Structure 1
Amino acid sequence: MHFPNIQPKITPIYQTSVFKFEDLDAVRQYFDEPGSRYLYSRNGNPNSDELATAVARWEGGVGAVATGSGMAAIFAALLTYCQAGDHVLCAADIYGGSAALLNLELARLGITVSYVPFEDLGDLRAYLQPTTRLLLCETMSNPLLRVVNLRQLATECHQHGLKLVVDNTFATPVLTRPLAYGADLVLHSVTKYLAGHSDVTAGAVVARTPEDVARLRQIGTVFGLTLSPMESWLGVRGLKTMRLRVAAHSENAWAVADFLDKHPAVQAVYYPGLPTHPEHGLATTQGAGRFGGMLSFRLPDDAAVVNSFMQRSQLFPFAPSLAGVDSSCSHPLYTSHRALTDAQRAGLGITVGLVRLSVGIEPVEELLADLAHALAS
C-alpha cells in the first residue's frame, strides 16, 4: 500500500523485520549499491540508521552503528581493532561491565588485558606488549569521576601505534567530543543521557574513519548487535532534548555536590565541578564549563549507615542505572562493579560506604531537602 501525500515530520517507526523486493534486479541493487535499499532489519533499518546518524553528527564522526545495549557497543568497539592473540590496555578506573567483558569473555577469545592506573595514563611504556592494539577509557570515570586528559592520552596512544577508544557516556557530546581530541572511536550507552528517560536499552559507537565505520557495521550485522526499530525511535526522540537535559543535570549536580561537600555526615565527594577535585581545571576546559550530572560520595564503611540513607531518601531511589530525568542512587560495590576483583576494588577505593548519585532535573531545592532528610540520622 502506498500513501503518496503523507509527509510525516517525525520519522515513522519501521516495525518490520524484513523489506520487500520487486524482482532479482532490485535485490542485486541492494548488494551492488550499499545504502540504496533495506533488506533485513538486522542488517539495517531506517530507525536504527537515523539514530546512528544523529549520534555521529553529535560526536563529529563520519558514521556510527546503533547497538542493542551499551555493552554491545563496547564489544563492537573492541572487536573493531582486536582478534585472538591481541592485547588491550584499559584504564583501571572503569565501569565494571567493561572489566567483566574483558576479564571473562574476551579472555576466552584469546584477547588479554592489562589495567593502567590513572596516574600512569600519561606514559604507557611499562604496559605495552608487541600485540597491544588499543586503550579503553572513559571521559569521566565510573564511579569516581576521574577526568582523562583526552588530547594527551590520544597523543600517547598514537605515538605507540595504539587506537584510543573512549566511553563518553557520563560526559555526553554536549560536554565533550573525544574525536575532536584525537580519539579513534567513541561509544555510548544510549540507555543513559542520550535517550535520557530510563525507558530505552541501547548503545552506539562512532568512528572517525570510513574504514572503521564499515568494520563496525560488519560486526553489528554478523554478531546480531543491531538495535530494534522501536528502541531506535525512542533514542532519536531522547536526543532532541539532550542539550537542555544535560544543562539541567549539570546545574543540579553542582548544587548537590556543594551541599554534600559541606555536610558533616559525608566523608568525601567526587565531582569534577568542585574546585577541590584534582582534575577540576581540566574538566572545566574539556567539559565546556559544565561537569555533568553524576557524582559519588563517601559515607562511613557501614552497611547500616548506607541502608539508612537509601531507606530515608524519597527522591534518590536505589536503582542501579543512571542518567534518567528522575534522580537515583546506586552502590558500585554491590552493583556496577561487582565483577571487579577484590584487589581492583580496593585499589580504586570502592568500598561499602561509596554511593553514586545520578542527579536528575527535578527542582533542586527538593533534591537538597531530600538529601538533608536522608543524611539526618
Structure 2
Amino acid sequence: MHIHPKITPIYQTSVFKFEDLNELELYFGEPGSRYLYSRNGNPNSDELAEAVTHLEGGAGAVATGSGMAAIFAALLTYCTAGDHVLCAADIYGGSAALLNQELDRLGIGVSYVPFEDLTTNLAAYAQPRTRLLLCETISNPLLRVVDLRAAAEAAHALGLKLVLDNTFASPVLTQPFEYGADLVMHSVTKYLAGHSDVTAGVVVARTPEDAARLRQIGTLFGLTLSPMESWLAVRGIKTLRLRMEAHSRNAQAVAELLAQHPAVQEVFYPGLAQHPQHTLAREQGAGRFGGMVSFRLLDDSTNAVSRFMRASQRFPFAPSLAGVDSSLSYPAGTSHRALTEEQRQELGITAGLVRLSVGIEPVEELLADLHQALEATVV
C-alpha cells in the first residue's frame, strides 16, 4: 500500500534503522540521502530549516531548540576564543546576557555600539580580532530600525560579518540577505510559529559554507529541535503572510490610538509618520511595520504600569511576543532586567515603558480595551 500524505508526518523517533552495512556507508558517502540519528537530522527539523531558508532566500539553515540557541550557533559560526564581537546597544536582553556572561567566559569579548554609530562610526569600536556585527532588523524594545544596507557596507568595509536578528520583522516584511547580511536568525517561537505553543530557533546562512558550519555546530552542541516542535512551527509558517498582514494592520491602529491618548507620553512604532526611521522602515518592510508597539506612560512609574496591567483584559502580561493573541511585556523587569539602571536609562527603558505584542483579534476590541486601561493609569 502506497501512502502519500499531503502534510509531512511527525517522525517522532530518535533513531532510524539500516538494512545492512551498505546502507550505513551510503549514509556517510551521500550526506543528506538518509537519516541516522535525530540529533544529526530529522525530516521535521529539516523541513522547518528548508522552509525558512526559502522565505529568507538563503543557502541553508539549522533549526535549534530555542531562539537563544540560534543566537549561540550564529555567533560560533564566526567566532573562537580570543575573538571580539560588536553588538548594537539596542539588543534583546538575552543576547546581551549570553555575550556578557557566557561567551565572555569562553574568551569571546564584546563591545556595544550605540544606534547612531552602527552605520557611521563602526570603525571606532572595532578591534584587531573583531569578527562580526550583531544587530536586530527592528530593535527590542524601542523599535528602532537599522539601515541594513548601510550596516552591511560598514561591517564589510572592516572585514566583518553582519549577523541579523530578524525576529521582529519576519521575512514577510524584510529579507536581510537582499541588503547584504551574512547570517539571519529568528526566534521561531515568535512570528514564524505564531501561536505561543512552540519554543524554537533557526539560523539561515547566505553561503553553503556557512550553512555547513551551522549544521555542524547544531549537531555537535546538541542544539537540535524536536520533531513535534518542528512540525508545529512548519504548520505555523503556512499562515505567516496572512498573520503578518493582520498584526501590522492592528498594530498601526493601536499605535495611532496611543499617540493621541493623554495618558501616553511617547509611542514607538515605525508605522507612525513621526518615527525617526519611518521612511526607512517603509522601504525595508514593503509598506508594513509589524505587530510590536512600545509606549511610555505619562506617569512614568511602576505603579502606573501595574494599574494598566490590572485594568487591561485583552493584553495579559506574558513575557514573550508575536502570538495570534495580544499580550504585553515589561522590558525593565523582564527582557532587560539584567542591565543596570543606568544602562536602562541610557537606552530609554524607563519604569513606565510598556511593550505590546498586538495580535490578530478584532481591532475594535483591542482599541476599546486599551482606552479603558489607559484611563486607569490616571489618578
SS of structure 2 residue aligned to 1:333: helix
Moved more, 231-240 or 26-35: 26-35
SS of structure 2 residue aligned to 1:346: helix
For residues 314 and 47 of structure 2, what CA distance do their matches in structure 1 show? Answer: 34
Shift of 1:5: 1.5
Q: Show the counterpart of 2:63.
A: 66
Counterpart amino acid of residue 303 in structure 1: T
Which residue, 165, 169, 183 being the options, matches 1:171?
169
For residues 347 and 80 of structure 1, what CA distance do their matches in structure 2 show? Answer: 31
Shift of 1:301: 2.3
Alignment: residue pair count: 374
Give the alignment's TM-score, normalised by structure 2.
0.98
Shift of 1:345: 1.1
Shift of 1:226: 1.0
Counterpart amino acid of residue 357 in structure 1: L
Shift of 1:196: 0.2
Q: Show the counterpart of 2:331.
A: 332
Q: Show the counterpart of 1:298.
A: 296
SS of structure 2 residue aligned to 1:267: strand
Q: Does 1:248 align with 2:246?
A: yes
For residues 82 and 302 of structure 1, what CA distance do their matches in structure 2 show? Answer: 41
For residues 184 and 340 of structure 2, what CA distance do their matches in structure 1 show? Answer: 26
For residues 218 and 341 of structure 1, what CA distance do their matches in structure 2 show? Answer: 36
Counterpart amino acid of residue 191 in structure 2: Y
For residues 155 and 302 of structure 2, what CA distance do their matches in structure 1 show? Answer: 41
Shift of 1:376: 1.1
Q: Show the counterpart of 1:90.
A: 87
Q: Show the counterpart of 2:155.
A: 157
Which residue, 223, 228, 231 being the options, matches 1:230?
228
Q: Show the counterpart of 2:306.
A: 307
For residues 322 and 83 of structure 1, what CA distance do their matches in structure 2 show? Answer: 32
For residues 344 and 154 of structure 1, what CA distance do their matches in structure 2 show? Answer: 26
Q: Show the counterpart of 2:359.
A: 360
SS of structure 1 residue aligned to 2:184: strand
For residues 212 and 341 of structure 2, what CA distance do their matches in structure 1 show? Answer: 39
Pairs within 5 Å for 1:74-223:
74-122=71-119, 123-223=121-221
SS of structure 1 residue aligned to 2:332: coil
Which residue, 13, 25, 28 being the options, matches 1:31?
28
For residues 134 and 24 of structure 2, what CA distance do their matches in structure 1 show? Answer: 39
Give the alignment's TM-score, normalised by structure 1.
0.98
Shift of 1:24: 1.1
Moved more, 257-266 or 17-26: 17-26
For residues 90 and 341 of structure 1, what CA distance do their matches in structure 2 show? Answer: 17
Shift of 1:339: 1.7
Shift of 1:224: 0.4
Q: Does 1:46 align with 2:46?
A: no
For residues 341 and 193 of structure 1, what CA distance do their matches in structure 2 show? Answer: 29
Counterpart amino acid of residue 190 in structure 2: K
For residues 103 and 225 of structure 2, what CA distance do their matches in structure 1 show? Answer: 22
Q: RMSD of aligned C-alpha atoms?
A: 0.6
For residues 285 and 298 of structure 1, what CA distance do their matches in structure 2 show? Answer: 26
SS of structure 1 residue aligned to 2:264: coil
Q: Per-residue CA shift, 1:132-163, capped at 9, x if unaligned?
A: 00000000000000000000100110011000
Shift of 1:200: 0.3
Structure 1 residue runs of 5 or longer lacking an equivalent are none
For residues 181 and 104 of structure 2, what CA distance do their matches in structure 1 show? Answer: 24
For residues 74 and 344 of structure 1, what CA distance do their matches in structure 2 show? Answer: 22
Which residue, 3, 8, 13 being the options, matches 1:16?
13
Shift of 1:25: 1.2
Q: Per-residue CA shift, 1:172-194, capped at 9, x if unaligned?
A: 00000001100000000000000
Structure 2 residue runs of 5 or longer lacking an equivalent are none
SS of structure 2 residue aligned to 1:284: helix
Shift of 1:112: 0.3
Q: Per-residue CA shift, 1:296-352, capped at 9, x if unaligned?
A: 000122211110000000000000000000000000000011122333212101111
Q: Aligned residues: percent identity?
A: 78
